[in-house]
Amino acid sequence: MTARPPGPEPAVVSRRTVFRGGAGLTLAIAAGAAVTACSPGPSDRQRDAEALVPLAQAADRQRRQAEQLAPRETEYTAALGQVAAERGTHAQALTDEINRLHAPAASGITAPAGVGAGTLDDLRAQLQKSATAASAAAAAADGFRAGLLASISASCTALKEVQLP
């Protein structure tokens, strides 16, 4: 007979314990891979808000252009006042929607103070670009946002064609 050396009894690990440990390890690895694969990118609401920022900037810029052109283009003073008022309303409506979707995105809306007045033809061209951009954005949007953008597109077209023919 062989004598065992004195000390603790060797641990006996059952097959069931090994399988449980293996299953737990597999789940931990899978969970870790899933967490690292999912990067916390911008939410849909944030992307929607950021897509509206250039439209709000353009509205604010065109409002300022119309205000600056009004005293120089005396034949169009009243019409330019209407353009300034409507584009100001558009800028505010877009800002409100941006704030509703993702308020931090609204910080980039304000146009630089040094916006030049340009010419009446420049303003007409900018209104046409805004109408086209709002129309494209409306087609990609849904619900209230689609209606808002379609309305802005129609308004920009009317401002260009009716107020500033």
Write the pLDDT tens digit of every residue in 31-45: 555 544 555 788 999
Greatest Cα-to-Cα distance within the chain, rounded to the nearest angstrom: 120
- Residue 32 domain-assigned (yes or no): no
Integer CA distances (angstroms), 151 to 31, 103, 117, 118, in order? 47, 23, 25, 26
DSSP helix/strand/coil, 127: helix
Distance of CA 159 to the CA centre of its chain: 26
- Residue 19 domain-assigned (yes or no): no
- Residue 104 domain-assigned (yes or no): yes
- Residue 143 domain-assigned (yes or no): yes
Distance from C-alpha of 157 to C-alpha of 151, rounded to nearest angstrom: 10
- Residue 49 domain-assigned (yes or no): yes
- Residue 30 domain-assigned (yes or no): no
- Domain with 98 in it: 44-163
In which residue are the tokens 């558009």 written? 90
- Residue 3 domain-assigned (yes or no): no
- Residue 109 domain-assigned (yes or no): yes
pTM of the model: 0.74
* pLDDT recorded at residue 29: 63
Interval 74-123: pLDDT, tens: 999 999 999 999 999 999 999 999 999 999 999 878 766 666 778 999 99
Count of domains in the chain?
Answer: 1
